Structure 1
Amino acid sequence: MITKTAAIIGGVGGLLLAFAIFQIVNALWLLPAARSHAVDGYIESQAVADRKAELERKGDDATLQNLSNYDLCVAGLRSSRMPIDPCDQLRGNDSE
């Protein structure tokens, strides 16, 4: 017959063996896969953000190239909350 002590030792040994096997599987297979997945997701999100920023810059560049000298001066001074009086001298020089 199996004694109570032998059953307890067997149970604890089995739990320790199962824990050790899970730790080995975790360290060799699950964690590297999770890291790889996280890195791929980070790279993907950076690529999406870079593309979005590039499209916004292209739109801003196209908008700025279509502005006259006066409008460009006014936009720059208004964004800094400064008076637009110095831009008045550019009103007649749009053709240059």
Structure 2
Amino acid sequence: MAVTELQLFHSPGSCSTAAHILLKESGLPFSTENINVMQGFPVEFLHLNPKGRVPFLHMNGETITEMPAIMTAIAQLVPDKIFLGSTNLETVRCYE
């Protein structure tokens, strides 16, 4: 199995807490980068995420933005954990 490099860019008080919890629960190795959005989005990160918002997940060189996409990406890396439900309806309820 290929190693997946995961880095979560987050900010205290943002909606990134859910992604951080899911990464911890996944058991996957990951790193975090705290961004103080009150001081502005650092220019050096804009090439990773031109939207200039957090959270975002950098995964194997790709940037994933928006919480539903981030949560789906993490959940698909550990399908045995069934983070997004085991039936179509359970998955839909997670996105509601």
For normalisation by structure 2, the TM-score amounts to 0.25
User: Higher helix fraction: Structure 1 or Structure 2?
Assistant: 1
For normalisation by structure 1, the TM-score amounts to 0.25
User: Higher strand fraction: Structure 1 or Structure 2?
Assistant: 2
Select the structure of larger CA radius of gyration. 1
Bigger RCO of structures 1 and 2 (CA < 8 A, at least 6 apart):
2
